[in-house]
Amino acid sequence: MRGWMGKTKVFFVFMLLALFLAGCGIENLTALEPKGYGAEKSMDLILLTTLIMTGVFIVVMVIYVITLVRFRRKKGQENYIPEQVEGNHKLEVIWTVIPIILVLVIAVPTVLATFDLSDDSKADELINVNVKGNQYWWHFEYAGEEIQTSQDLYIPTGERVYLHMLSSDVIHSFWVPSISGKMDVNAENVNTMYIEAYDEGVYWGKCAELCGPSHSLMDFKVIAVSPDEYDEWVNDMQNVDTDAEPENAVAQEGQELFEANNCMNCHATDSAASGIEAGPQNNGPFGPNLTNFGDRSRVAGILEHNKENLVDWIMDPESIKPGNKMTGQYPELSQDEAESIAEYLLQLQPSEITPESAGD
């Protein structure tokens, strides 16, 4: 008896813990508060399936309880054998047809929503972005705009933005829970979906497909701004002054070190450039575009955006994102050299439209 009670207490504690942890999360990183068309469609499906599953659970439990109470063994009926119903065609039809109907009720809206969210018939009239998934970062190329950036995807509110996604290595999955559903990002074929944010803000994105040791660290942001601010950002990115001098001597030294240590081979600081290609079949950059690095809110997608964290990343990226492709690609740097490069990168701020201005 004591062992049974102990197991019950443990189960009860785990249930309370699961309920508590279910309430944990990050704002703008949840599918339960939809702020975009795709997330809204996903939420409708979540509610539909939850309603159906809850109904099935209630019906099963009611039948179960009735059976326990009505057909329990009574005193004096120890040898009583109830009527056997195996082979009852009516019951077999009922418990076969009902699940089929429930599956169809779930499947039909799901299929319709899937085709709706991947419909690219209007893509030529709207914004198109070529998305490249890499271990463990994201690259964005704005078709027809001569703009390339990484980690931060800027979009206007109230407009559909079509994403054409391809991987440079393994399978990834593009997911911004608050404004869209998921879409696999493959190396063999381009998958297309569109996203639309209703409100301005910074929405967190994740890779939702196990892709290596730093899969859980493959974060990115979608920055939704007003259409006017988006136009301003596009103009700023198209007119980056690549000949601009750094603001101080430390940053000047950092720029020289950045160029001397082959950083330019992988990282472009011009929004129209890509750096070297990751592979002949993918036509993508080997490293993230750093044109607007100073405007970002995270270092390597996960660390607070400050000089100390950036220096740590430059000195030892492997300790922060195991398996990344930056490790070992450049000569060993001293602490002072890393600080100079960090000073230079933090000054790459071509636009006043930033995650901070969008509410991050």
pLDDT in tens, 187-240: 999 999 999 999 999 999 999 999 999 999 999 999 999 999 999 999 999 998
Distance between CA 274 and CA 277 in Å, rounded?
A: 8
* Three-class SS state of 227: helix
Strand runs labelled E in the chain: 127-134, 137-142, 147-150, 152-156, 161-167, 172-175, 182-185, 191-195, 201-207, 220-225, 298-299, 303-304
Q: Of 216, 135, 125, 208, which is closest to residue 174 (Cα–Cα)?
A: 208
Contact 190, 218 (CB under 8 A): no
Query: 19 versus 303: which is more confidently predicted?
Result: 303
Residue 286, Ramachandran bin (φ over 0: left; ψ between -120 and 50: alpha; else beta): alpha
**Mean pLDDT of the 166-175 span:** 94
**Mean pLDDT of the 352-358 span:** 85
Residue-level pLDDT at 322:
94
Q: Of 152, 230, 163, 148, which is closest to residue 195 (Cα–Cα)?
A: 163
Q: Of 286, 159, 294, 136, which is closest to residue 220 (Cα–Cα)?
A: 136
**CA 244 → CA 232, 252, 269, 344, distances in Å?**
20, 11, 11, 12
Residue-level pLDDT at 275:
47
Distance between CA 265 and CA 279 in Å, rounded?
A: 14
Query: Using 50, 70 and 90 to split pLDDT, how confident is the model at 360?
Result: low
299's tokens? 């270092």
Query: 265 versus 62: which is more confidently predicted?
Result: 62
User: Domain spanning 24-77+88-117 has what CATH number?
Assistant: 1.10.287.90
Q: Give strand pairing partners of 221.
A: 152, 204
**Long-range pairs for 276-279: beta carbons < 8 A, 24 or more residues apart:** 278/132, 278/134, 278/168, 278/169, 279/168, 279/169
* Per CATH, domain 249-358 is 2.60.40.420: yes
Question: Taking all residues of the chain, what is their mean pLDDT, rounded to a whole number?
Answer: 87
Distance between CA 23 and CA 16 in Å, rounded?
A: 11
pLDDT of 23 over the 70 cut: no
* Three-class SS state of 122: coil
* Three-class SS state of 100: helix
Residue-level pLDDT at 317:
93
Residues 87-118: pLDDT tens digits? 778 888 888 999 999 999 999 999 999 899 88
**Mean pLDDT of the 5-19 span:** 76
Q: What are phi and psi of 282, to 5 degrees?
A: -115, -20
Residues 240-294: pLDDT tens digits? 888 788 888 998 998 999 988 888 888 888 876 654 444 434 455 688 999 999 9
* Three-class SS state of 32: coil
Quickly count: other Cβ atoms within 10 Å of residue 334's Cβ.
10
Please state the pTM of the whole predicted model.
Answer: 0.84
Residue-level pLDDT at 24:
65
Residue type, 29: L
Distance between CA 329 and CA 322 in Å, rounded?
A: 14
Contact 319, 297 (CB under 8 A): no
Q: Of 196, 180, 188, which is closest to residue 114 (Cα–Cα)?
A: 180
- Extents of the domains making up the chain: 24-77+88-117, 249-358
**Mean pLDDT of the 53-61 span:** 94
pLDDT of 9 over the 80 cut: no
